[in-house]
Chain A
Amino acid sequence: MTLLTSFFLQLPFMPEQASSFAQEVDLFYLALWGLTVFFTIGVALAAGIFMIKYRRKRAGEIPEQVEGAMLLEITWTVLPFIMALGIFAWGAKLYYQMYTEPKDALEIFVTGKQWMWRAQHPDGQREINELHVPLGRRVKLTMTSEDVLHAYFIPAFRTKADVVPGRYTTTWFVPTKVGTYHLFCAEYCGTQHSGMIGKVIVQEPSDYQAWLGGGTKEPPAAAGQKLFASLACNTCHYEKSGGRGPTLVGVYGTDVKLDNGTTVKVDDAYIRESILNPMAKVVATYQPVMPTFQGQVSEEQIANLIAYIRSIGKQDGDGGTAAPAAAAQPAAKPAAPAAKPATPPQSGAKQN
């Protein structure tokens, strides 16, 4: 008997609350359980009492027939409807908070691949299947996948977002409790799906700084700068205009005109698309001559390139959109073109 009691006492009902969202999500959850219990008990009790009270007493019994009652019908249509609207509004409000990107967040870039999580911090510190975050700071994750769908799920934070190949998704949170928490992949991703788990480690800001200090690393923007040169991007994208492609200095966060007359905001998604699929959105007055880099750069290298372009972008532009890791500290200066073309390009120019 004592064994049985201790068995049930061990039953946890709620995960730890370790983010600024956790408390309200839990409150909402418990409120809905309150409603569920109320309606389930209500229906079961009513049905049970009616069954016993009006049990068949004679085989030939025909009860008095009731057709229905309009007033009752209206009541149990309108009341649940109002209730449902209330639940909708609460859920929508919470979701809006979770999916409105915060300002001044610590930005960490996350890549999912079968079956591991990689994270890169703004100063270049990397980790696998772990995520170190400082207590009390807004943390934004910009995520993408190298292969199939994944989902980044931290139960203690009550946050989750799918990690989708081919696009950036984001999630954010404020850790409110020092500790180590579960990180799960929640979107089925193949054989080792249940092994694609890790730990989220919330530290005091000073401990986080100390942790960042360890190891060798290179800030993403600096890495991106090197990559920009080694991939010979700078043979077309000059520091100033005049290259076959538009200059990338000062463009991040601005709107640029495309050759089809529309405009697009230069953000992470657009840069990523232009590296992998250069013909999709070509900047006006340039020729679509850029080759694709699909298959030649990894997701992390793309993130580094974005970090670099961001660091030389419109200064103090708070690119509110998805923004990988990087830009915390701007890379010093745009890369000097490795080799300037001997002859200036003719009319031929190209998009970014």
Chain B
Amino acid sequence: MATEVMQSAEPRTNYLNAGHTVKSWLLTLDHKRIGLLYLFSISAFFFIGGIYATLIRLELVTPQGDLMTAETYNKVFTMHGVIMIFFFLIPSIPAVLGNFLLPLMLGAKDVAFPRLNLLSWYVFIVGGGMFMLTMINGGIDTGWTFYPPYSSIYSNTQVTLAGVSIFITGFSSILTGLNFMVTIHTMRAPGMTWFRLPLFVWAHYATSLIQILGTPVVAITVLALGFERTLQIGIFDPKLGGDPVLFQHMFWFYSHPAVYIMIIPSMGVVSELIANMTRKRVFGYHFVAFSSLAIAVFGFLVWGHHMFTSSQSMYAGLVFSLITYAVAIPSAIKTFNWTATIYKGSVSFDTPMIYALAFLGLFTIGGMTGLFLAAMGLDVHLHDTYFVVAHFHYVMVGGAIIGYLGGLHFWWPKITGKMYPEIWGRISAAIVFLGFNLTFFPQFVVGYLGMPRRYHSYVPEFQVLHILSSAGASILALGFLMPVFYFAWSIKYGKPAGANPWGAVGLEWQTPSPPPTENFTYQPVITTEAYEFEHVEEIKNAGKAEALQTA
């Protein structure tokens, strides 16, 4: 295969040049093209969500609410949260990288249900479009958590429309999960046993489980909220005979596992990055694989840790706290195994590895600060403060987005057939890392000092920390914008990548870049485990070339 790609000058049919019409994209059943459709859509949402984040950080530079009214600010942080969570983070790695890579990694021609796959994108676009409509109509101000009775009775904003859009978008997530799960069960190439699967696939299997089992619950919850709001059916508002705490139980039953929808795929990416950039099989493969499943399963039993101060029973709280600590263990196992993988490896310093290292550090901080919040007596003080905001940004940005960016750099040559400029990749990774820490570390401190979430104005003594945070945000924004430009640049001017520029293992690297529409021109048969580098032609060839030079 390697030889085949050397002649990349000569045009070859691949999934990108297989059709140039708009129709060939919008009606495509090719998982790779659908992955790219998702890439463009979620990047647009990330950009919009980022603008809202910028507005938040600008407002908080001064203690007075002087840039915008309180009403506008409340809409801004709500839109930031809803867009980033439902329209960027949840689809991000599964729908873009997962769609693109899963069939390639399994040695399959496509996912099990290509039409369903396209449908999931259309459902996403309809849901996303409706949310944009919500935005144009004035947005919503309930916070992304939609707690009633504020959301059901008191808010005068577009809650119903937003609820419908989230309801619809949920189906896109369910369809993707369903498709992946069936694909992993039925489409594996001959010889691809469960324990020969790349860890990226294991992570997506665990994620699919949550998407399928959890998402219907949030759909029901949003529906119930809609009924109360439009038909005055008392479910959550005590004035109508309902119970507001019931909503919190239902909401977090999905929304806590949803956090794992965002982070587990990123863990899968990091396993691939570290293995391939160090050319070592992942230390403790079975432990890393099963820890993804353990997180997915335990993750369903911890929702009450969002409710220690909500008037939930103390004894329920005790159980939720205990199980939450059980989730910490598989996360710790992964972190230690990744670190051990680097030991005695052949470590490359290319951008994907820099992102993987950033992930290791930031996810450790994000995970450890989760232990603060799961400790009931400490959570009483920390709950609903900026400490929580800092914690989940360390997990969601420092974990999920850093993993996503690392994966995007790693598989960019496969997706486009071109190399991005390595030096710019490293610079932007460093800027993202610095900007991120400057933005969110001060928020741990200001949170412990007592700064509550969702405050439009605040007491003056918190200003210094907010200024640091806003300064960091501007650096972070720069780091996020740079890849947009050099990725775009690389499509035209980037060096041709070849089939396997990293000397990586994995079936996706054994087919040309960009891959042909049918993924493989032959039927792959798997005879080895997931991370066996001694069979990688590119490394062997490089070794032979070096031997010739020294001889």
Q: With A and B bound together, what is the CA distance between A294 and B379 in angstroms? A: 35
Tell me which residues across on chain A come within 8 A of B311, comparing CB atoms: 161-162, 164, 167, 169
Tell me which residues across on chain A come within 8 A of B154, comparing CB atoms: 114, 147-148, 190
Against A, the Cβ 8 Å flags (1 = close, 0 = not) of B325-362 are 11011001101111110111111110001000100110
- Give chain A nearest CB distance to B541 CB in angstroms: 8
Against B, the Cβ 8 Å flags (1 = close, 0 = not) of A8-36 are 00111111000000001100110010011
A44 in contact with B344 (CB, 8 Å): no
- Is B49 at the interface (CB under 8 A from chain A)? no
- Is B149 at the interface (CB under 8 A from chain A)? yes
A29 in contact with B448 (CB, 8 Å): yes
B342's closest neighbor in chain A, by CB? A50
CB contact between B383 and one of A147, A160, A189 (< 8 Å): that residue: A160
A280's closest neighbor in chain B, by CB? B241
- Is B371 at the interface (CB under 8 A from chain A)? yes
A54 in contact with B325 (CB, 8 Å): no
- Give chain B nearest CB distance to A191 CB in angstroms: 5
A29's closest neighbor in chain B, by CB? B378
- Known A-B contacts A46-B339, A73-B333, A191-B141; the reply to A51 vs B347 at CB < 8 A is yes
Tell me which residues across on chain B come within 8 A of A65, comparing CB atoms: 280-281, 531-534
A sample of 9 cross-chain residue pairs with beta-carbon separation below 8 angstroms, ordered by A number, consists of: A12-B461, A25-B378, A60-B547, A67-B283, A148-B150, A151-B383, A164-B310, A188-B142, A189-B150
- Is A338 at the interface (CB under 8 A from chain B)? no
- Is B452 at the interface (CB under 8 A from chain A)? yes
- Is A211 at the interface (CB under 8 A from chain B)? no
Against A, the Cβ 8 Å flags (1 = close, 0 = not) of B487-510 are 000000000000000010000000
- Is A62 at the interface (CB under 8 A from chain B)? yes
Contact stretch, chosen from B11-19, B212-220, B316-324: B316-324
- Is B143 at the interface (CB under 8 A from chain A)? yes
Contact stretch, chosen from A82-90, A124-132, A254-262, A313-321: A82-90
Of residues 33 through 92 on chain B, the ones whose CB sits less than 8 Å from some CB of chain A are 65, 70-71, 74
Contact stretch, chosen from A92-100, A216-224, A237-245: A92-100
Tell me which residues across on chain A come within 8 A of B65, comparing CB atoms: 194
- Known A-B contacts A62-B534, A73-B287, A85-B325; the reply to A184 vs B452 at CB < 8 A is yes
CB contact between A54 and one of B285, B345, B377, B384 (< 8 Å): that residue: B345
How many of chain B's residues touch chain A, expressed as a range?
Answer: 35 or more
- Is B126 at the interface (CB under 8 A from chain A)? no
Q: Please name 12 further chain A to chain B contacts, defined as beta carbons within 8 Å, in addition to the given A68-B285, A155-B381, A165-B149, sorted by A numbering.
A: A12-B461, A44-B361, A51-B342, A56-B349, A60-B541, A76-B336, A80-B328, A84-B328, A91-B321, A95-B379, A149-B147, A161-B309
B452 in contact with A147 (CB, 8 Å): no
- Is B256 at the interface (CB under 8 A from chain A)? no
Of the candidates A182, A194, A277, the one having the most CB atoms from chain B within 10 angstroms of its own CB is A194
Q: With A and B bound together, what is the CA distance between A96 and B314 in angstroms? A: 8
Q: With A and B bound together, what is the CA distance between A88 and B321 in angstroms? A: 7
- Known A-B contacts A95-B380, A96-B314; the reply to A80 vs B150 at CB < 8 A is no
Tell me which residues across on chain A come within 8 A of B318, comparing CB atoms: 92
- Known A-B contacts A43-B364, A188-B147; the reply to A194 vs B455 at CB < 8 A is yes
Q: With A and B bound together, what is the CA distance between A101 and B222 in angstroms? A: 36
- Known A-B contacts A80-B332, A195-B457; the reply to A61 vs B321 at CB < 8 A is no
Name the prevailing secondary structure of the B interface residues.
Answer: helix
B368 in contact with A13 (CB, 8 Å): no
Tell me which residues across on chain A come within 8 A of B74, comparing CB atoms: 188, 190-191, 193
Q: Report the count of interface residues on A (CB-CB < 8 A).
A: 93
A98 in contact with B380 (CB, 8 Å): yes
Q: How many A-B residue pairs have CB under 8 A?
A: 317
B375 in contact with A147 (CB, 8 Å): no
Where the two chains meet, the residues of A that have a C-beta atom closer than 8 Å to any C-beta of B are 7, 10-15, 24-25, 28-29, 32, 35-36, 39-40, 43-44, 46-48, 50-51, 54-69, 72-73, 76-77, 80-81, 84-85, 87-88, 90-99, 114, 147-149, 151, 153, 155-156, 158-162, 164-167, 169, 182, 184-195, 197, 277, 294
B533's closest neighbor in chain A, by CB? A62
Tell me which residues across on chain A come within 8 A of B342, comparing CB atoms: 46-47, 50-51, 54
- Known A-B contacts A40-B364, A158-B380; the reply to A54 vs B375 at CB < 8 A is no
Tell me which residues across on chain A come within 8 A of B427, comparing CB atoms: none
B309 in contact with A90 (CB, 8 Å): no
Q: With A and B bound together, what is the CA distance between A114 and B154 in angstroms? A: 10
- Is B372 at the interface (CB under 8 A from chain A)? yes
Q: With A and B bound together, what is the CA distance between A134 and B142 in angstroms? A: 37
Q: With A and B bound together, what is the CA distance between A85 and B380 in angstroms? A: 19
A193 in contact with B455 (CB, 8 Å): yes
Q: With A and B bound together, what is the CA distance between A64 and B464 in angstroms? A: 50
Tell me which residues across on chain B come within 8 A of A294, comparing CB atoms: 239
Q: With A and B bound together, what is the CA distance between A197 and B311 in angstroms? A: 21
- Give chain B nearest CB distance to A113 CB in angstroms: 11
- Give chain A nearest CB distance to B444 CB in angstroms: 9
- Known A-B contacts A15-B449, A98-B380, A193-B454; the reply to A68 vs B375 at CB < 8 A is no
Tell me which residues across on chain B come within 8 A of A61, comparing CB atoms: 279, 346, 539, 543
Q: With A and B bound together, what is the CA distance between A83 and B116 in angstroms? A: 45
A153 in contact with B384 (CB, 8 Å): yes
- Give chain A nearest CB distance to B202 CB in angstroms: 15
Q: With A and B bound together, what is the CA distance between A155 and B456 in angstroms? A: 18
Q: With A and B bound together, what is the CA distance between A147 and B244 in angstroms? A: 11
A97 in contact with B377 (CB, 8 Å): yes
- Give chain A nearest CB distance to B276 CB in angstroms: 12
A276's closest neighbor in chain B, by CB? B238
- Give chain B nearest CB distance to A82 CB in angstroms: 10
- Known A-B contacts A32-B375, A160-B380; the reply to A50 vs B343 at CB < 8 A is yes
- Known A-B contacts A54-B344, A87-B325, A155-B381; the reply to A43 vs B349 at CB < 8 A is no
- Is B385 at the interface (CB under 8 A from chain A)? yes
Q: With A and B bound together, what is the CA distance between A47 and B245 in angstroms? A: 44
- Known A-B contacts A60-B544, A153-B452; the reply to A28 vs B283 at CB < 8 A is no
- Give chain B nearest CB distance to A222 CB in angstroms: 28
- Is B115 at the interface (CB under 8 A from chain A)? no
Q: With A and B bound together, what is the CA distance between A67 and B529 in angstroms? A: 11
Tell me which residues across on chain B come within 8 A of A7, comparing CB atoms: 464
A51 in contact with B357 (CB, 8 Å): yes
A169's closest neighbor in chain B, by CB? B311
Tell me which residues across on chain B come within 8 A of A191, comparing CB atoms: 70-71, 74, 141
- Give chain A nearest CB distance to B358 CB in angstroms: 10
- Give chain A nearest CB distance to B335 CB in angstroms: 6
B372 in contact with A149 (CB, 8 Å): no
- Is B518 at the interface (CB under 8 A from chain A)? no
CB contact between A68 and one of B71, B150, B284, B457 (< 8 Å): that residue: B284
